[in-house]
Structure 1
């Protein structure tokens, strides 16, 4: 019975979020949701966990729960396309050619997706992804300046973005 109750709550919340909330808008606290829907806190947590897995919401420790900037329909973000994983799985040697890097004020859509403040800047990185030396993917990536401070193209040529981020934390 409890599992159907949290799924019912999850569906109600999802509908409410899509209809009444804007991207990055804060949701009521767990305690407020308990009072609003007259269910237990564990039921609210289960529903929120599921919504987070579905990409409809995100949580910031100590700040609350927020509506995701874009609704990702994929239930498991780890299964989203990865060029590197795909090519390595096919036995191809992957490489990246970084073409340009510039600091800019991104368009509104990018600001929302990166959860940036209106005047925050981001680096626009343009790169070419290759497999066995053949160009396959032209990629434009935006990296928040507040996370990737003092970024220069030469640094990125030393390894992957993931490694660069870990090194600078």
Structure 2
């Protein structure tokens, strides 16, 4: 029952943070006040607060208490291999994909290098904005080796390319290598993103492989700085 109690308190406090009852930089009530409010022990309250801290919703500062952090960002898993459709469903936020370009191209030097394709091979080029809660905050520039993905349509690109690849083409997407860095905003970013005055974006390069270790996709995802929190889980090995 104790475990259920601290999780219930965690979820209740989290709901209040997300609804804006507690704003960024606000101080949560003290452990004593919360234990009285929820009619439970300080140990149970401490467990709930520790969980909020671990998940990045509060910062516990000695002598000051628990300070609410800015949660106007969306968790984006660094180590995971998740489609935007899956991410949007998990967030339960209104989201849509806008396709700006869909064409078959001969790879230039940059794409040949990143997708490891010869000159003669054709590549699908897909440029899409990702909109969450009415703001275009991700620009995805995808390149798929046509040898593995012979056909793409605008409808597929607006829905989920990964779902199409796995369910229709019966290919198994296995793993990805990623690079992440901060880059200056480009004219293309200005054209397709709601930048809100930001002059830099977070760029994630994805090199995505099938089960047989074939590199079939290279993606450059460009994220508005203020909207994404990149999360990962790490365990120290001994």
TM class by shorter chain equals 0.3 to 0.5
| TM-score, structure 2 as length reference | 0.35
| TM-score, structure 1 as length reference | 0.45
User: Which entry has the higher C-alpha Rg, 1 or 2?
Assistant: 2
Larger strand share, 1 or 2:
2
